[in-house]
């Protein structure tokens, strides 16, 4: 079960007053235990507490937002506003969260690879509309008792800096062309090849590679699959890749934050989609965490403030346990995953001394291109 709010040792996500004081101090949750806030002290210092200790389902997203700088466009405000909202656990809420974190990730990616983030944000929006809003889709959600998800509305997107689409959602070609995502994989590879000076994805920093690989998989689903045969498995695959993206970026900001992000978002998906017969998504937590364990502090060309004083206290039992909402999940899964994460960290330290090179702001290795060197 969940630990009480008072038992915060080891699960506290902390930040110095100079960084967070006055911005988040005194925030309140909605009282439901679903999206609780953090508490501010009398001095205005913010104290971050994980969901397991009552800190709120999106505590990790709120923490990540504090490390985002202006180079990422509106990414910081998007995540802050998202984390302050009240979530009911509906599918509509979750879809909005997925679109918003994708748009925020797009802003961070844009800071390093101009234009690639815009493409990624549009890919997420289009694939969401095709999945849930097109009447021919096997997982059409327009029949929900509360009405179709807001992502299906003609006005959706403007509030996030995305173009609203007012055409027919059943016209696949028109929707794809409106957002410019035809041949999405090829378009994304053009950005990657330009960024890597023609050397390809394998040549770039491993943290960047993890994020871009996830989006290439989403783009491939949009490009190649029969949209009339999309299924619940398609939904879960896309969400897992998007969560991989923001989880990797979480680790780029502060080591260990990525696992918290993964836990929070998978829990949200489990709560909202589980009631509609979707398989247990919590089981993917260890897989995603393993994938992002190689992601290390990386500023994304000034999009992340990796040198601030914000810290994550994970020195006491912060194992990223995602079992709180599904008793079918092995209790030891995430504990073992934490050990794997620690081993990956050791391996990463031994791998071309990436972390030491990052801290010394030297070139990571001969495969890093000049753009990435400038980011450091």
Weakest-pLDDT range from 166-170, 222-226, 233-237, 346-350: 346-350
Helices (H) and strands (E) in the chain, counts: 14, 4
Lowest mean pLDDT among 170-174, 198-202, 208-212, 354-358: 354-358
34-75 pLDDT, tens digit per residue, is 443 333 322 223 345 565 666 667 889 999 999 999 999 999
User: Which residue has 């028109």 as its token pair?
Assistant: 174
pLDDT tens-place string over residues 94-145: 999 999 999 999 999 999 999 999 999 999 999 999 999 999 999 999 877 7
Contact present, 102 and 120 (Cβ < 8 Å): yes
Please state, in angstroms and rounded to a whole number, the distance separating the CA atoms of residues 48 and 38.
6
Contact 268, 325 (CB under 8 A): no
pLDDT at 335 over 80: no
- Looking at residue 33, the DSSP 8-state letter turns out to be S
CA distances from 152 to 10, 141, 215, 359 (A): 41, 9, 22, 45
Query: Which of 161 and 131 is assigned the larger pLDDT?
Result: 131
Q: pLDDT value at position 277?
A: 83
Alpha helices in the chain (DSSP H): 17-20, 59-65, 75-84, 91-112, 116-132, 172-178, 184-195, 206-224, 232-253, 257-273, 285-292, 333-350, 354-359, 370-375
Average pLDDT in the 357-373 region? 42
What secondary structure letter does DSSP report for 230? -
Query: Cβ–Cβ contacts within 10 Å for residue 14, how many?
Result: 18
Contact (CB, 8 A) for 108 and 68: yes
Q: What is the pLDDT of residues 250-291, one digit of tens each?
A: 999 999 999 999 999 999 999 999 888 887 899 999 999 999
Residue-level pLDDT at 14: 40
What separation in angstroms does the CA of 157 have from each of 8, 48, 132, 160, 366? 38, 30, 15, 5, 41
């Amino acid at each position: 079960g969940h630990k009480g709010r008072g038992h915060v040792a080891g699960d506290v996500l902390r930040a110095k007053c100079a960084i967070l004081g006055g911005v988040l101090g005194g925030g309140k949750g909605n009282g439901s235990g679903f999206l609780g806030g953090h508490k501010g002290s009398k001095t205005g210092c913010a104290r971050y507490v994980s969901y397991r200790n009552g800190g709120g389902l999106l505590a990790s997203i709120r923490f990540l937002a504090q490390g985002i700088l202006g180079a990422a466009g509106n990414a910081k405000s998007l995540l802050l506003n998202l984390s302050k909202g009240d979530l009911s656990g509906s599918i509509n809420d979750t879809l909005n969260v997925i679109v918003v974190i994708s748009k925020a990730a797009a802003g961070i990616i844009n800071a390093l690879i101009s234009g690639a983030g815009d493409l990624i944000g549009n890919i997420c929006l289009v694939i969401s509309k095709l999945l849930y809003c097109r009447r021919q889709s096997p997982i059409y959600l327009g029949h929900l008792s509360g009405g179709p998800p807001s992502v299906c509305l003609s006005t959706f997107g403007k509030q996030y800096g995305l173009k609203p689409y007012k055409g027919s959602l059943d016209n696949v070609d028109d929707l794809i062309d409106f957002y410019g995502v035809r041949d999405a994989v090829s378009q994304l590879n053009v950005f990657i090849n330009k960024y890597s000076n023609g050397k390809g994805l394998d040549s770039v920093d491993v943290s960047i590679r993890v994020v871009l690989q996830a989006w290439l998989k989403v783009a491939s689903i949009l490009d190649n699959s029969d949209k009339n045969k999309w299924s619940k498995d398609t939904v879960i695959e896309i969400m897992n890749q998007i969560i991989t993206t923001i989880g990797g970026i979480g680790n780029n900001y502060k080591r260990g934050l990525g696992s918290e992000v993964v836990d929070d978002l998978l829990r949200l998906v489990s709560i909202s989609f589980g009631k509609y017969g979707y398989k247990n998504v919590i089981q993917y937590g260890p897989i995603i965490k393993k994938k992002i364990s190689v992601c290390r502090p990386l500023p994304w060309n000034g999009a992340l403030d990796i040198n601030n004083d914000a810290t994550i206290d994970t020195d006491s039992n912060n194992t990223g346990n995602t079992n709180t909402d599904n008793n079918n999940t092995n209790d030891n899964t995430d504990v073992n995953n934490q050990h794997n994460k620690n081993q990956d960290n050791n391996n990463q330290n031994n791998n071309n001394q990436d972390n030491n090179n990052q801290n010394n702001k030297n070139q990571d290795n001969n495969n890093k291109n000049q753009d990435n060197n400038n980011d450091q």
